[in-house]
Chain A
Amino acid sequence: MSAIKPLKLAIIGCGAVIDELHVPSLRRLTRQGAVRVTALVDRSKERMARFKRVFPEAVCFEDAAAAFRSAGAEAALVASPPGLHRAHVEAAFSNGCHVLCEKPLATSVKDVTELAGMSERLGLILMVGLTRRFFPSLATAGAMLRAGDLGGQVEFRCHEGGVYQWPIASDAPFRREAGGGGVLMDKGVHVLDSLLWLFGPMSVVGAEDDALAGGVEGNCRVKLAGKEVRGVMQLSWDQETANGLHIKGSFGEMRVDPNEFRWIELRRAQGAWERRPCRSSWPASLKAPAPTTKAPRVYEDCIYMQWIQFLRAVALGEPVPVDGRAALTVAAQIEAAYASAAPLPQPWLSAEEQTAAARRHWRNGAKQ
C-alpha cells in the first residue's frame, strides 16, 4: 500500500521507451495506487490507442499543451524525441508539473541550462532518466574509486557497442535536428554520466567520429581527462565491441560489465582476477521515513527504483539522483565533443575510402 496519494501523470511521447521500459513499472505503481496515468500525448493515434488499453483512465491528446490544460496532470514523463524535450519540459513546468525526462534532457547546453534554471526557480522537480545511477556494479565501483582502492594515476577505457535494436517508431534518432546527434547523444549520454559520476569532473580533450555531412555518427571515440584520471570512451551502433569499463590505477585494475549487476572484477598488480559482489540498494517503497531497500537485479528494477525516487522527491522532497544541474555536466561534455569532433581514423578501410571519409566529415561542412 502506498503512503502517498496517487500522482496524476501525463505521458508525453508514446514510443518504444514507454513500451519497453516504463509500462511494467507504471502498471505496478498504478496497482499500488501511487500513480494514475491521466493523459497520453503522441502524434500517432495508433500508438496512443495501444497504451490506452494499458491505462484506460488516460485521455489521448495530439498536442502536449492541450493535455496539460485539460488533463489535470501533476507530473509528466517526457519521452518524446530529444529535439522536442525542451518544448515539452517547458510546457510541463508552465502548468506546474514535475518532470521525469528521458535522456538526454535536451540537445544543447543552452537548453539544458535554461530547463535546470526553470526547475529551480519554480521549485518543481526535474529528474533525468539516467538509470545507470541505480546499477549496483557502478555504485560499488564508485565507492571503491572514491576510497582510493585502485590508487592514483587512474586510466580507463570504456567500450559500448551493439547493433541498434530499439524498435523505434520514427527515424528521429538518426537526424541531427531531431535527435541532436548519433550514438554519442544516444548511448553516450548514459556512459558519460556514469564516467563523470565515477571519476568526478573531466573534460573532453579529443573526439573523433565517422559522420559525414548530413549524417550522424554511428561510431565515435572521446578522450577525457580530469584530476589524476584520463581515459577513452568508445561507442558503436554497428557491432558489438569489447563492451565494459576497464579501469587501471597504481594499485590494481577493475572491470565493470554494464550488464552484470551481481559483481565487478578486480585484481591487484598483475594477480588473478577476483569477483567482488555488488550489494548497493535503493528505496523500494514510498513509505516515509524509513523505506525498505532492495538491490536491482535487472534493468527493469532500475526503472522501477527510478520511479520510486521520483515519487519520493515529489511527495517527500527527497533529492533525485540526476537533476538538471547534473544533466548539464553531461551536456557540456557532449557539446564539447561535437565541437571538437575530427574524422575517426578507420584503418580497416582502403586509403581512398579513408581520404573520402575525412574530406566529407560533417565538421568540414563539405558539400555532398
Chain B
Amino acid sequence: MSVSPINDSGFRVSRVAVLGAGGFVGARLMRVLRGCSQVKGVGIVRSAKSLARLSSHPMEVRVVNTSRTKELAEALSDCDTVVNAVNGDVSQVLRETRTAYEAALAARCKLMIHLSSAVVYGRANSPGLHDDSPPDTRNWMLYARGKAESEVFLRSVMGDAKSMRIVALRPGLIWGPFSQWSGMVGEQLSRGSVCLSNSGRGIANLVHVDNLVQMMLAVHGSHTGPSGFYNVGDPEAVTWSQYYQGLCKRLGYPETHVRTWPDARLPLTPKLALEWCLQRKPLYRVAKWCLPRVGLGVKAAAKKVVKGEPFPPGGLQPEPKSAPRLTREHWALQNTTFRLPMKKFFRDYGPVELESTESALDSTASWLRFAGYAAANGESGPFDSTHIW
C-alpha cells in the first residue's frame, strides 16, 4: 500500500475510494470530501457516462470494471477506506458486494463501508426489529433480496477479515436536493396527482443525503468503532403525510393538494402482476436482454404505460374514488409500520451532528423550486418576475 501524502497542516491525508461515485449518494460524498483537508476522495465508476454527475467539480476519478476483482483491487491499492455505494444492476447486488469486499481485502484497505438498505426488512412491520435482526432474503423485490443476501455474505466474512473493519449502514429512503425521492414529490405536486395510501400514516424511513454522508464520515473518522450492521436515518421520525405536506407548504401549494386514501390494501392489477413477475431473476434478465433490442417506439410506449400519461400542469385530479394506483414498491413504503432503531450507531460511533428535518425540508424545497416544481402562483413560480429576472 502506498503512503498517503501529508497535507499543509502536517496531517496524513487518508484516501477514501467511493465505488459508485457517479450515483446520487456517491457524487454527494465526493463533493463533501473535496472540501475536506484531511481526507481525499477517489471516485470509482464503471463507465464514462457516470462521470456526468462529477463533471462540474474536478476530482480524481477512475473508470474501472467493478465486476473484476483484480482490476478493482489495483484501483483501490492506494486507498485506506472503501465506500461501496454502487447502485447498479439489481440482479447483481450480491456479486458486486462480493467483488468489492474481495478487492478491498486484496488492496489491504482498513475499512469497508457498505451501503445496504432498510429495505432488507421489507415493510418493517415488526416492532422488535433491531440492527442485528436477520434480513429478509425472500422479499418480493429483487433489489431487497440482493441487499439482504449481501448482508448475509458480509456477516459471514466479518470475522475472517481481521485486517479490515466492515461497517454496513442501512439507510431508508435517501432524500434531499437531486434525490429521486424528493423530485418525485415535486413532480406529483405539480401534476396534482398526490394520493397517499394508508391515510399517509405510514412511517417514511427517511435519511437526508447530507446526514448519511456525515454518518459515513463518522465511521471513517473513528479508529475504534467495531465492524457491524447499523440502521441509519434522520434524527426525527416523519410520516409520509408529514413529508409531503412539508414540501407542499414550502412550494406554495395548498394543503389540500396532498390527498390521502384510508385503505392500506394493495388492489391487484395486471400491471402489478407484471411488476411482480419482473422481480424474478430469470424474467428480469430476459427483460433486460430485450430492452436494448426493441425500437424506440416500443420503449416510448412501454414508458407511457409504466409512468402514466402526464396531466396538464397545475391541474388537480378529481377526488379519488378508488385506491391510488401505486407501484408495489411505493405501496410497501407508504405502509411501513415502524421506524428502525438507530441507537446502536450512536453508541458505537458517537454523536453526529445531523441536519433537522425542518432545515432539510427547507434546502430540499429550494432545490425543487430551482427544478421548476413550485406552484405557479406561489413564490418563485414559473413566471414570477423576481425569480427569473
- Chain A residues packing against B (C-beta within 8 Å): 24, 155, 157, 159, 161, 163-171, 173-174, 182, 209-219, 223, 230-232, 234, 236-242, 244, 246, 248, 255, 257, 259-260, 265, 267, 272-273, 297-301, 346-349, 352-353, 356, 368
Whether B48 lies near A171 (C-beta < 8 A) is: yes
Q: Mark B125-155, 1 if CB is under 8 A from A, else 0.
A: 0000000000000000000000000000000
Q: Within the complex, which residue of A155, A217, A242, A248 is in contact with B372, where a contact is CB–CB below 8 Å?
A: A242
Given A168-B49, A240-B187, A265-B313, A300 and B57 contact (CB-CB distance below 8 Å): no
Q: Within the complex, which residue of A157, A218, A239, A259 is in contact with B388, where a contact is CB–CB below 8 Å?
A: A157
- Chain A residues within an 8 Å CB radius of B177: 348-349
Whether A212 lies near B372 (C-beta < 8 A) is: no
Q: Within the complex, which residue of B49, B186, B388 is in contact with A242, where a contact is CB–CB below 8 Å?
A: B186
- Chain A residues within an 8 Å CB radius of B10: none
Which residue, B47, B56, B58, B367, has most C-beta atoms of chain A within 10 A? B56
Q: Measured between alpha carbons, how far is A368 from B29 in the docked complex, in Å?
A: 19
- Chain A residues within an 8 Å CB radius of B314: 273
Given A210-B56, A218-B52, A273-B313, A246 and B183 contact (CB-CB distance below 8 Å): no
Whether B312 lies near A265 (C-beta < 8 A) is: yes
Whether A240 lies near B183 (C-beta < 8 A) is: yes
Report the minimal beta-carbon distance from B183 to chain A, rounded to whole angstroms.
6
- B346-372 residues at the A interface, CB under 8 angstroms: 363-364, 366-367, 370-372
Report the minimal beta-carbon distance from A17 to chain B, rounded to whole angstroms.
13
- Chain B residues within an 8 Å CB radius of A216: 55-56
Q: Within the complex, which residue of B24, B47, B63, B363 is in contact with A348, where a contact is CB–CB below 8 Å?
A: B363
Whether A348 lies near B56 (C-beta < 8 A) is: no
- Chain A residues within an 8 Å CB radius of B312: 255, 265, 267, 272-273
- Chain A residues within an 8 Å CB radius of B378: none
Whether B313 lies near A255 (C-beta < 8 A) is: yes
- Chain A residues within an 8 Å CB radius of B48: 168-171, 174
In the complex, whether B290 has a CB less than 8 A from a CB of chain A is no
Q: Measured between alpha carbons, how far is A217 from B190 in the docked complex, in Å?
A: 27
Whether A171 lies near B56 (C-beta < 8 A) is: no
- B258-291 residues at the A interface, CB under 8 angstroms: none
- Chain A residue, CB-CB nearest to B388: A232
- Chain A residues within an 8 Å CB radius of B12: none
Q: Measured between alpha carbons, how far is A214 from B55 in the docked complex, in Å?
A: 9
Q: Within the complex, which residue of B55, B57, B388 is in contact with A237, where a contact is CB–CB below 8 Å?
A: B55
Given A161-B371, A165-B49, A241-B372, A174 and B183 contact (CB-CB distance below 8 Å): no
- Chain A residue, CB-CB nearest to B373: A242
- Chain B residues packing against A (C-beta within 8 Å): 24, 27, 35, 47-49, 51-53, 55-58, 63, 176-180, 183, 186-187, 190, 295-297, 300, 310, 312-315, 363-364, 366-367, 370-373, 382-383, 388-389
- Chain B residues within an 8 Å CB radius of A356: 35
Known: A241-B371, A255-B313. 17 other contacts (CB 8 A): A163-B53, A168-B48, A168-B49, A212-B56, A217-B55, A218-B53, A218-B55, A223-B389, A240-B187, A265-B313, A272-B315, A273-B315, A299-B300, A301-B297, A347-B366, A348-B363, A356-B35
Whether A368 lies near B58 (C-beta < 8 A) is: yes
- Chain A residues within an 8 Å CB radius of B190: 242
Q: Measured between alpha carbons, how far is A367 from B315 in the docked complex, in Å?
A: 49
- Chain A residues within an 8 Å CB radius of B295: 24, 298, 300
Whether B297 lies near A166 (C-beta < 8 A) is: no
Q: Which 7 A-B pairs have the closest CB atoms?
A: A273-B312, A242-B372, A164-B52, A214-B58, A174-B55, A241-B371, A348-B177
Given A242-B187, A265-B312, A215 and B57 contact (CB-CB distance below 8 Å): yes
Report the minimal beta-carbon distance from A29 to chain B, rounded to whole angstroms.
16
Report the minimal beta-carbon distance from A164 to chain B, rounded to whole angstroms.
3
Report the minimal beta-carbon distance from B85 to chain A, rounded to whole angstroms.
15
Whether B300 lies near A298 (C-beta < 8 A) is: yes
Whether A237 lies near B372 (C-beta < 8 A) is: no
Q: Measured between alpha carbons, how far is A232 from B177 in the docked complex, in Å?
A: 21
- Chain B residues within an 8 Å CB radius of A248: 382-383
Whether A348 lies near B57 (C-beta < 8 A) is: no
Q: Can you list 29 A-B pairs, Cβ within 8 angstroms, ordered by A?
A: A155-B388, A157-B382, A163-B52, A164-B53, A168-B49, A170-B48, A174-B51, A182-B56, A211-B56, A212-B56, A215-B55, A217-B55, A217-B56, A237-B53, A239-B178, A239-B179, A239-B180, A240-B187, A240-B371, A242-B186, A246-B382, A273-B312, A273-B313, A273-B314, A298-B295, A299-B296, A346-B370, A353-B35, A368-B58
Report the minimal beta-carbon distance from B227 to chain A, rounded to whole angstroms.
32
Whether B366 lies near A348 (C-beta < 8 A) is: yes
Q: Measured between alpha carbons, how far is A228 from B8 in the docked complex, in Å?
A: 56
Q: Measured between alpha carbons, how far is A162 from B94 in the docked complex, in Å?
A: 28
- Chain A residues within an 8 Å CB radius of B372: 157, 159, 234, 241-242
- Chain B residues within an 8 Å CB radius of A219: 56
Report the minimal beta-carbon distance from A298 to chain B, rounded to whole angstroms.
4
- Chain B residues within an 8 Å CB radius of A348: 176-177, 363-364, 366-367, 370
Report the minimal beta-carbon distance from A153 to chain B, rounded to whole angstroms.
11
Q: Measured between alpha carbons, how far is A353 from B176 in the docked complex, in Å?
A: 16
Q: Measured between alpha carbons, how far is A297 from B55 in the docked complex, in Å?
A: 34
